[in-house]
Amino acid sequence: MSNKDYNKINPLDKLIRQTLRLGMNDKDSYLQIDYIYGFELFNTRPYHNYETWSGGYRVTDKHNDIRVEAEDLDDALQLWADTLNKIRAGEELHFTTRHAYKHLEAKATK
């Protein structure tokens, strides 16, 4: 529990805490957030059609077998939360949905 007033907690922190719903587990890693960088990792804008280096975030939830990536941290965390909520609702998700990559989805829709 944070020492801050609830209205002063960062919205991304709130999203993580509300989505995880942890019980009485001790000393385990539940969510891993990595900043990744590479050649054309997140080249998703229609006007951006040249070679470039770019970075973004990978969120890994080993307990629920979810790995997602997005250019912006808020998008990556929301994609993780949405995927986990679908699993909790009983939706059967294919491997590619559980391991979603926002930048690949954006390229596929063009």
How many domains would you assign to the chain? 1
pTM of the model: 0.76
CA 76/CA 100 separation, integer angstroms = 9
Helices (H), 6-101: 11-20, 73-88, 95-98
Q: Is residue 66 part of a domain?
A: yes
pLDDT for 33? 96
Q: Is residue 3 part of a domain?
A: no
What is the average pLDDT across 4-22? 88
Q: Is residue 65 part of a domain?
A: yes
pLDDT for 21? 77
Q: Is residue 90 part of a domain?
A: yes
Is the confidence at residue 90, as pLDDT, over 90? no
Q: Is residue 99 part of a domain?
A: yes
List, for residues 27-41, the tens digit of each pLDDT value.
677 899 999 998 878
Is the confidence at residue 47, as pLDDT, over 90? no
Q: Is residue 1 part of a domain?
A: no
What is the average pLDDT across 59-85? 91
Determine the structural domain holding residue 75 and report its residue range. Answer: 9-20+30-108
Q: Is residue 2 part of a domain?
A: no
